[in-house]
Amino acid sequence: MRKRELDKFKKLLLIERQGLVAHLSELEGASETQLSQGGGDSVDLAALEITQAAIQKMGNREKNLLKKIEYTLDKIESGDYGTCERCGEKISPARLEARPVAQFCIDCKTELESNERRYSDKEEEDEEGWGEYEDAS
């Protein structure tokens, strides 16, 4: 991949990381405020627990994405970016545009996903969370 393209993806990832870090600290702030205001009647407590769970879930998802971004930035630095980690083929530019943190080419990803679905019923969270921060420029 050309340096110009690498720089473009790096910039995208850095912007995304910045947004995530800011949002995560917001979430943590919201969570603390709610905890300190909590107490009192049980209806409020139940609502509080639901909100806490939602915040935690969103936070976990974003933390995962953050880890993935760090990992991807490392790959850019080491020159491994844009190569499928499973088969070693180049990942198509269109796929990287849509999802800069992609680790696998579309063929491998499709295969891995169908295996995952077969062997587990865990929630699909891998492909979520990217694309909400479309480049506004």
**Cβ-based nearer residue to Zn ion, 7 or 80:** 80
**Cβ-based nearer residue to Zn ion, 20 or 102:** 102
CA 107 to chain CA centroid, nearest Å: 21
Query: Which of 9, 13, 105, 129 lies at the binding interface for Zn ion (CB under 5 A)?
Result: 105
Query: Which of 65, 96, 101, 108 lies at the binding interface for Zn ion (CB under 5 A)?
Result: 108
87 binds Zn ion (CB under 5 A): yes
In the stretch 46-85, what mask flags binding to Zn ion with x, by CB under 5 A?
Answer: --------------------------------------x-
Scanning 30-38, 61-69, 94-102, 107-115 for contacts with Zn ion by CB under 5 A, the matching segment is 107-115
CA distance 16 to 75: 16
91 binds Zn ion (CB under 5 A): no
- DSSP state string for 58-120: HHHHHHHHHHHHHHHHHHHHHT-TTB-TTT-PBPPHHHHHH-TT--S-HHHHHHHHHHHHHH-
CA distance 75 to 2: 14
CA distance 122 to 131: 22
Residues in contact with Zn ion by the rule CB under 5 A: 84, 86-87, 105, 108
